[in-house]
Amino acid sequence: MISLRLPACIAICVLTFAAFSVAQEKQIKRSELPAAVQKAVDAQSEGATVKGFSQEREKGKTYYEAEMIVNGHSKDVLMDPTGAVVEVEEEVALDSLPAAVKDGLQAKAGSGKLVKVESLTKHDKLVAYEAQVSTGGKKSEVQVGRGGKPLDHEE
């Protein structure tokens, strides 16, 4: 009996740790943003319609995300508590992508349909493209590097 308890306890501990190490996100109001983040949002959202805000914890750090619509497409801006922009995910028209990127995304998607594509910019540098894929009614995501090649790790 004891030999079964130990593996069960280990499994529970591992699953609990994994659940807390994944990004945790909660919707918040603009008034809950730190002043520096509010100022950054004002600059980033000029000419945009802000849809909402969230607070995220990832790897023990707190981030704030502003979701907006700019010229008819989505743009999500992730900032640290000082208002520094950490990451921008911005929707890109499929037909505006370089051929190598479009081909790379489709290769990773296999028989799935590319539904929405976003550019991923980190610290002002384009690092990847991410596409939402629909395959037989199921949704998933794929990523490629800025040149269309597979990534060593997900961004």
Domain 93-155 in the same topology as domain 23-85: yes
On the question of pLDDT at 14 being above 90, the answer is no
Q: Long-range contact list for 30-35, CB < 8 A, 24+ apart?
A: 33/64, 34/64, 34/81, 34/83
Mean of pLDDT values over 90-112: 96
| CATH number assigned to the domain covering 93-155 | 3.10.450
**Cα-flanking dihedrals φ and ψ of residue 43, to 5°?**
-70, -45
Mean of pLDDT values over 134-154: 94
- The rounded Cα 94 to chain-centroid distance in angstroms is 18
Output the pLDDT for position 153: 86
CB 52 within 8 A of CB 45: no
User: Left (φ > 0), alpha (ψ -120 to 50) or beta: where does 85 sit?
Assistant: beta
Q: Which tens digit of pLDDT belongs to each residue from 2-12?
A: 455 544 444 44
For strands 138-145 and 125-135, give the pairing.
Answer: antiparallel
Least confident range from 20-24, 89-93, 107-111, 114-118: namely: 20-24
| CATH number assigned to the domain covering 23-85 | 3.10.450.360
pTM of the complete model beyond 0.85: no
Domain spans, the chain: 23-85, 93-155
Output the pLDDT for position 5: 54
Q: Which tens digit of pLDDT belongs to each residue from 24-75?
A: 889 999 999 999 999 999 999 999 999 999 999 998 999 999 999 999 999 9
Q: Secondary structure of the chain: what % helix, strand, coil (to 5)?
A: 30, 45, 25
